[in-house]
């Protein structure tokens, strides 16, 4: 817990401290299950034509929910594998938003870019955000108004000002057949204008990578609250900007996200439809 201790020493508010500790412990617990199951044979089921769910998604979610309930009981939870078809926002109070395995396709194929993602929203505002990548043992966390950290070290977005010097990332929706024209139009518009594009396969980590300066921007057109809620706070607390494609205020209950170092935001947004 050393890396969390380093963060906690910088926070005055005991309530914030205990919520951050709860989120970190839960993210690490889920992550250690993912790491343990990574090399074993997987049970793979289909949630849609290309949307997978494995035994690890379920085991991680079960462990995360138990950990949150132990450390911070009584808070509403929206977790991917137990969520209703249409995820509901807790407009009046606190709500944990949990992705027990972001990057399931990567996990199932032995591609080591995946993680757990946990956010605490309060009346829709992000207070705590934690993303944990177990294969790299990287714990990203953010607290509203206090900053963002990677393994206890403060992180910040890049200061890249020109698109041609930017490394950006995106993701493709599971419903790719319906969205193909739009996805290709976005790639066609962005690819010739930037240094390069990555599609690494885990939106929560893509956002964490924007927060720590490994990427200059990220966009995706059809995400769920558990994909982005934690990363949203990571990016904003690291000095970046998060909005929809048109630059409007962001909510993880909206499908489209554009995240950037702030300086490139408008330029990137202008290329997206
Ligand atoms: C997916 C990943 C992927 C993104 C998909 C998400 P999952 O989450 O974040 O990068 O492109 O849209 O649904 O299903 O692996 O938790
Ligand atoms: Ca996800
Ligand atoms: Ca998931």
CA of 102 to the centre of ligand 1 (A): 6
- What is the model's pLDDT at position 9? 92
CA of 15 to the centre of ligand 1 (A): 31
In this predicted structure, the answer to whether residue 38 has a pLDDT above a threshold of 90 is: yes
Give the start-to-end residue ranges of the domains of the chain. Answer: 3-154, 163-272
Q: Which residue has its alpha carbon closest to ligand 1 atom 15?
A: 103
Extract the tokens encoding 35.
């790491």
- Quick: pLDDT tens for 141-185: 999 999 999 999 999 999 999 999 999 999 999 888 889 999 999
Q: Which residue has its alpha carbon closest to ligand 1 atom 12?
A: 173
CA of 161 to the centre of ligand 3 (A): 33
**Whole-number percent of the chain with pLDDT over 90:** 89
In this predicted structure, the answer to whether residue 56 has a pLDDT above a threshold of 90 is: yes
What's the whole-number mean pLDDT along residues 1-9? Answer: 89
DSSP readout, the chain? -HHHHHHHTT---HHHHHHHHHHHHHHHHHHHHHHHHTTS---EEESSSS-EEEHHHHHHHHHHHHHHHHHSTT-EEEEGGG--SS----SSSEEEEEEEEE-HHHHHTT----EEEEEEEETTEEEEEEEEETTTTEEEEEETTTEEEETTEE--------GGG-EEEE---S-HHHHHHHHHHHHHHHGGGSSEEE--S-HHHHHHHHHTTS-SEEEESS--HHHHHHHHHHHHHTT-EEE-TTSPBP-TTSS-EEEE-STTHHHHHHH--
Cβ pair 214, 166 in contact under 8 A: no
Q: How far apart are CA 130 and CA 132, in angstroms?
A: 7
Indicate which atom in ligand 1 lies nearest the CA of residue 173: 12
In this predicted structure, the answer to whether residue 1 has a pLDDT above a threshold of 80 is: no
**Residue 49: band (very low, low, confident or very high) from pLDDT cuts 50, 70, 90:** confident
Looking at domain 163-272, does it have CATH number 3.90.850.10? no
Ligand 1 — pocket residues by CB below 6 A?
99, 101-104, 171-173, 201-203, 220, 223, 227
Indicate which atom in ligand 1 lies nearest the CA of residue 226: 16
- Quick: pLDDT tens for 176-216: 888 999 999 999 999 999 999 999 999 999 999 999 999 99
Annotated binding-site members for Mg(2+): 80, 99, 101-102, 227
237 vs 89, more confident: 237
Fold type of domain 3-154: Fructose-1,6-Bisphosphatase; Chain A, domain 1 (3.30.540)
Q: How far apart are CA 171 and CA 218, in angstroms?
A: 8
CA of 225 to the centre of ligand 3 (A): 11
What burial class does residue 55 get, using C-beta atoms within 10 Å of its C-beta: 0-12 exposed, 13-18 middle, 19+ buried? middle
146 vs 273, more confident: 146
Among candidate residues 1, 4, 2, the one with its CA nearest the CA of residue 141: 4
Backbone angles phi, psi at 113, to 5 degrees: -125, 90
Q: Mean pLDDT over all residues of the chain? A: 96
Q: How far apart are CA 230 and CA 129, in angstroms?
A: 4
Indicate which atom in ligand 1 lies nearest the CA of residue 172: 11
CA distances from 79 to 60, 191, 199 (A): 11, 34, 24
Among candidate residues 180, 178, 173, the one with its CA nearest the CA of residue 199: 173
């Amino acid at each position: 817990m050393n890396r969390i201790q380093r963060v906690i020493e910088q926070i005055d508010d005991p309530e914030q401290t205990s919520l951050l500790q709860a989120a970190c412990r839960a993210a690490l617990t889920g992550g250690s299950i993912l790491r343990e199951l990574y090399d074993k044979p997987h049970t793979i089921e289909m949630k849609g034509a290309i949307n997978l769910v494995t035994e690890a998604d379920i085991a991680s979610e079960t462990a995360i929910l138990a950990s949150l309930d132990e450390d911070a009981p009584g808070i509403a939870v929206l977790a991917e594998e137990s969520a209703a078809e249409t995820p509901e926002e807790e407009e009046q109070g606190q709500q944990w938003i949990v992705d027990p395995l972001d990057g399931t396709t990567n996990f199932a194929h032995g591609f080591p870019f995946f993680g757990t993602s946990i956010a605490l929203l309060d009346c829709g505002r992000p207070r705590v955000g934690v993303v944990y990548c177990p294969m790299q043992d990287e714990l990203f966390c953010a607290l509203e108004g206090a900053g963002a950290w990677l393994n206890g070290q403060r992180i910040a977005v890049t200061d890249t000002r020109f698109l041609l010097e930017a490394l950006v990332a995106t993701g493709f929706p599971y419903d790719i057949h319906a969205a193909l024209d739009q996805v290709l139009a976005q790639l066609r518009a962005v690819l010739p204008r930037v240094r390069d594009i990555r599609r690494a396969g885990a939106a929560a980590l893509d956002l964490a990578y924007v927060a720590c300066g490994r990427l200059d921007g990220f966009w995706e057109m059809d995400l769920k609250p558990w994909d982005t809620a934690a990363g949203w706070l990571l990016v904003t607390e690291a000095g970046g900007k998060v909005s929809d494609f048109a630059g409007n205020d962001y909510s993880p209950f909206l499908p489209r996200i554009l995240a950037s170092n702030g300086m490139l935001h408008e330029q990137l947004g202008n290329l997206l439809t």
